[in-house]
Chains A and B, each alone.
Chain A
């Protein structure tokens, strides 16, 4: 059988190409040398390789530290407001002497020589620095009698007393085995006309935001594990804008999220949602030079993925039955399925190619930064209607066609509150 023309051409191409090798080009080496990576320190390499994981861990770390700091502030406030109890005095008595430095705080010094408490004199003064060292041996009256002391020293130290200290910064070389600095209470303000310790502390860390005081106020018998935790189930339609496709699209999903309070007005929430994105873009018709036919190019696909958002939320408005929250956080994305197809139609002849990636191929730990506004309407004691508007700015490109997305996500669902009532 005679060899066909196509076979002859193919054979010739194969023969020639197997023998052909272009000559070495020094310019090509120069070009490559410039592209070659400079040896990188191993730590930098590790940091670059796992940058998204480190960023994720960093954000979680910052959230934890913020939580810890706010917890400590609140517990300090609580202890600051506690009156002196017999237990605390007894505890003080049993403690070994130690150096206490209390700086720039309004405080009073409590001294007890024996644990049999009688009548308490409670004179609160403000002071700035107190240094207490060894057991009380000396007539401390010598030490604690600055000229500017507001009140007289108590004459006796045979009982528990709150002694006046000072109004200006003073270093008190004081020997005392039973000493405690006690922040002044409201009485102090009346005496000195200055702010109390608690108000001073609050003002230091206070961020001017509506109802922000409640952020730092820990409710009595507050326990985050039995607090007003919430479980939300939602449906989330969304609009998305693809920078790469220059098109708008719509998608939808469902999900659940768990929300735990940190403070009255702050909560942390984490959830998981299943989203499905459809896209379809027709570029038509394109006039191609030297071709009699127009070309139509169609790009379409469907991506299904799990999204795991974590956010911190601030309640900044509350009225009877309604709450408005502002939330910010990050989302991770785990692809389940990617179906992508492109079709080129030239002169009525279609040339189609399709691609389907396996599930779990793409895991993006830090996929998007989210900013949301939530509105909650209380339906009953434990049930609320929740609606959210979220803007999701994608940090990485998604999917087989590397889409850069901006997403406007709407969520509507029900919130069930369990644990302690608000």
Chain B
């Protein structure tokens, strides 16, 4: 289910928001139905698996239900939700940082991937690729390339230096290219 801009302005939607601010369970379920896909799509970009993404999404919804009273209905709700999900994902990064034993793979060769393969990448494949990235690379890539954060902002949010953020991004892109290449080779062989 996709959320349309008009949906947000409709009377029904305002009713749902008001119900949520009163703690009405039915309204909360309606809001969850409306925004589940949107929230999950953001969460998936920051997580290593579906379960992890669901955890981020659920935590985000809990925050949304708790803070919905503070949200002004005239402001864009979708942007507010997006901010909450990204912040929740960053919280997860901070929490898991000490346990983050993910590794980065240094690419031994730098062969360009087949261009047609890139254009044929679908959402599931892309999510799989992003999920395969080490946590620090995944976050830097998603924050910089999709969320539009600057390296300075990423450094502040993730507690890393700007140069680390830059290097993470470069390595993330390298890894993505490498994985696409491996996938395309594998498909050709089979």
Residue positions of A touching B, CB distance < 8 A: 5-6, 8-10, 12-14, 16-25, 28-29, 31-33, 35-37, 39, 244, 286, 288, 291, 293, 295, 297, 299, 340, 342, 344, 346-347, 349, 351-355, 400-402
Contact yes or no, A9 B113, CB < 8 A = yes
Can you list 23 pairs linking A and B with CB atoms under 8 Å apart? A5-B113, A5-B177, A9-B177, A13-B126, A16-B122, A16-B126, A17-B41, A17-B126, A21-B2, A22-B36, A23-B37, A24-B33, A32-B61, A244-B98, A293-B103, A340-B159, A344-B101, A344-B104, A346-B106, A347-B106, A351-B164, A351-B168, A352-B161
Which chain A positions have C-beta within 8 A of B38? 21
Which chain B positions have C-beta within 8 A of A291? 103, 105
Which chain B positions have C-beta within 8 A of A286? 101
Contact yes or no, B115 A353, CB < 8 A = no
Bound CA–CA A123/B115 (angstroms)? 116
* Number of B interface residues in the complex (CB < 8 A): 56
Which chain A positions have C-beta within 8 A of B76? none
Name the prevailing secondary structure of the A interface residues: mixed
Assuming A9-B113, A402-B98, what are 18 further A-B pairs, CB within 8 angstroms? A6-B173, A8-B115, A9-B176, A9-B180, A12-B119, A13-B130, A13-B145, A28-B36, A29-B33, A32-B62, A291-B105, A299-B98, A342-B97, A344-B100, A344-B103, A351-B136, A351-B168, A353-B97
Partner of A297 from B37, B101, B118, B122 at Cβ < 8 Å: B101
Partner of A29 from B29, B40, B129, B168 at Cβ < 8 Å: B29
Which chain B positions have C-beta within 8 A of A355? 159
Answer yes or no: B149 CB below 8 A from chain A CBs: no
Bound CA–CA A344/B137 (angstroms)? 13
Name the prevailing secondary structure of the B interface residues: helix
A357 — nearest CB in chain B belongs to which residue?
B159
Bound CA–CA A25/B36 (angstroms)? 8
Contact yes or no, A39 B37, CB < 8 A = no
Partner of A20 from B28, B123, B168 at Cβ < 8 Å: B123
Bound CA–CA A293/B105 (angstroms)? 9
Contact with A along B87-104 (1 / 0, CB 8 A): 000000000011011011
Which chain A positions have C-beta within 8 A of B33? 24, 29
Partner of A10 from B23, B100, B127, B145 at Cβ < 8 Å: B145
Bound CA–CA A8/B32 (angstroms)? 34
Bound CA–CA A21/B35 (angstroms)? 9
Which chain A positions have C-beta within 8 A of B1? 21, 23-24
Contact yes or no, A39 B23, CB < 8 A = yes
Chain B residues 142-158 with CB under 8 Å of chain A are 145-146, 158
Q: Would you give the shortest CB distance from A312 to chain B, in whole angstroms?
A: 37
Bound CA–CA A152/B101 (angstroms)? 93
Contact yes or no, A17 B173, CB < 8 A = no
Partner of A24 from B25, B36, B130, B160 at Cβ < 8 Å: B36
Bound CA–CA A24/B54 (angstroms)? 12
Bound CA–CA A145/B5 (angstroms)? 100
Chain B residues 1-21 with CB under 8 Å of chain A are 1-2
Q: Would you give the shortest CB distance from A70 to chain B, in whole angstroms?
A: 47
